[in-house]
Amino acid sequence: KAGVTQTPRYLIKTRGQQVTLSCSPISGHRSVSWYQQTPGQGLQFLFEYFSETQRNKGNFPGRFSGRQFSNSRSEMNVSTLELGDSALYLCASSLGAGGSREQYFGPGTRLTVT
């Protein structure tokens, strides 16, 4: 069974631009969560989607948004990029949502904002 895949793996953008990252979960998994990882803050939860609905959200500004498609693939979008948005963006999939569940992570997208 294929793991979680993320595209692209690396991205360089300029301040003020916007970016879209993609995540394909493990086949059969319906929940996708997104995280931002930086050296200073560590891993921080962005949002979680299940059945095309956002069911949970972290403490990030509205410039960060996401969506999930009927095939469970998810995208996250960051508008008006800032230098501080440079990070490794990780997505994780799980079978269901709510209650105890194991998360499986993708390799991440390394975003550099210049």
Partner 1 sequence: KQEVTQIPAALSVPEGENLVLNCSFTDSAIYNLQWFRQDPGKGLTSLLLIQSSQREQTSGRLNASLDKSSGRSTLYIAASQPGDSATYLCAAHMNRDDKIIFGKGTRLHILP
Positions that interact with partner 1 (CB under 8 A) = 4, 6, 33, 35, 42-45, 55-56, 58, 88, 90, 92, 98-108, 110
Query: How many H-runs (helices) and E-runs (strands) does the chain carry?
Result: 0, 11
Q: How far apart are CA 21 and CA 43, in angstroms?
A: 17
C-beta separation of 106 from 91 below 8 A: yes
Toward partner 1, which CB reaches closer, 13 or 45? 45
Q: How far apart are CA 95 and CA 82, in angstroms?
A: 33
Q: Which residue has the tokens 């994780």?
A: 92
Toward partner 1, which CB reaches closer, 4 or 81? 4
Toward partner 1, which CB reaches closer, 81 or 92? 92
Minimal distance in Å, beta carbon 74 to partner 1?
Answer: 15
Q: How far apart are CA 39 and CA 41, in angstroms?
A: 6
Minimal distance in Å, beta carbon 16 to partner 1?
Answer: 26
Minimal distance in Å, beta carbon 34 to partner 1?
Answer: 12
Minimal distance in Å, beta carbon 110 to partner 1?
Answer: 7
Toward partner 1, which CB reaches closer, 42 or 62? 42
Cβ neighbour number for residue 40 with a 10 Å cutoff: 6
